[in-house]
């Protein structure tokens, strides 16, 4: 036994708890409590596992609002995607996405430096620590820059349980960099 300061209070508390439990058992309070708890658990189990019949009209009535909500969220996501991109069918029947011409992406000088580091990485992913080192700035500033580039859909994050979080160029980011001849 070690002589740590917490060893003795814990042991004495456990012994005091056992003594109080034995006294309560002898007084007859615990058996009543156990019987009450057992009845409660049995009642809950019986209530939750018994067969009940639900009318079909009630199931349909409940499912209609849920379907409306799901279709509404799907239609919102489709409409937001269509406002960002114009889709049209080519002669081969393939779907092509064309970015609207009036969307001009503006980068700050820090964002530009980060994008140049991604070009230097030649398609490989980069960890935030590497960007902090290369930019000679704080982790907080790098996180802000990365969030801004993710919002502009130029980069994306990859999470790996073994290697942690890293970032890489998206297709739009690569096209942006190629279009600006970096």
pLDDT score at 160 = 80
DSSP one-letter string for 76-138 = HHHHHHHHHEEEEE-TTS-EEEEE-TT------HHHHHHHHHHHHTTT--B-HHHHHHHHT--
Same domain for 147 and 168? Answer: yes
> CB count, 10 Å around CB of 68?
10
Mean pLDDT of 67-85: 64
pLDDT exceeds 70 at position 181? no
- Domain contains 86: yes
Number of domains in the chain: 3
Same domain for 21 and 79? Answer: no
Under the banding of pLDDT at 50, 70 and 90, the label for residue 93 is very low
- Domain contains 2: no
Same domain for 126 and 167? Answer: yes
Using a cut of 0.85, tell me whether the model's pTM lies above it: no
Under the banding of pLDDT at 50, 70 and 90, the label for residue 157 is confident
Cα-based angle 175, 123, 171 (whole degrees, multiple of 5)? 30
Dist CA 22 CA 17 (whole Å): 9
Domain that holds residue 173: 109-179
For the chain, what is the mean pLDDT?
A: 76
CATH of the domain at 122: 1.10.10.10
**pLDDT digits 0-9 by tens, 3-53:** 555 567 788 888 888 987 887 776 676 667 667 777 888 888 888 787 777
């Amino acid at each position: 036994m070690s002589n740590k300061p917490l060893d003795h209070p814990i042991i004495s508390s456990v012994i005091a708890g056992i003594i109080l439990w034995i006294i309560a058992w002898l007084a007859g309070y615990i058996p009543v409590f156990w019987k009450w708890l057992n009845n409660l658990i049995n009642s809950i189990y019986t209530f939750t596992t018994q067969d009940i019949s639900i009318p079909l009209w009630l199931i349909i009535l409940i499912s209609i609002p849920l379907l409306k909500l799901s279709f509404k969220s799907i239609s919102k996501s489709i409409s937001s995607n269509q406002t960002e991109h114009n889709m049209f069918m080519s002669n081969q029947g393939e779907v092509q996405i064309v970015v609207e011409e009036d969307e001009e992406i503006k980068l700050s000088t820090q964002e530009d430096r980060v994008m140049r580091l991604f070009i230097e990485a030649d398609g490989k992913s980069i960890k935030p620590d590497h960007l902090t080192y290369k930019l000679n700035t704080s982790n907080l500033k790098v996180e802000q820059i990365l969030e801004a580039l993710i919002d502009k859909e130029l980069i994306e994050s990859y999470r790996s349980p073994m290697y942690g979080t890293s970032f890489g160029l998206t297709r739009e980011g690569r096209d942006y960099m190629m279009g600006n001849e970096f």
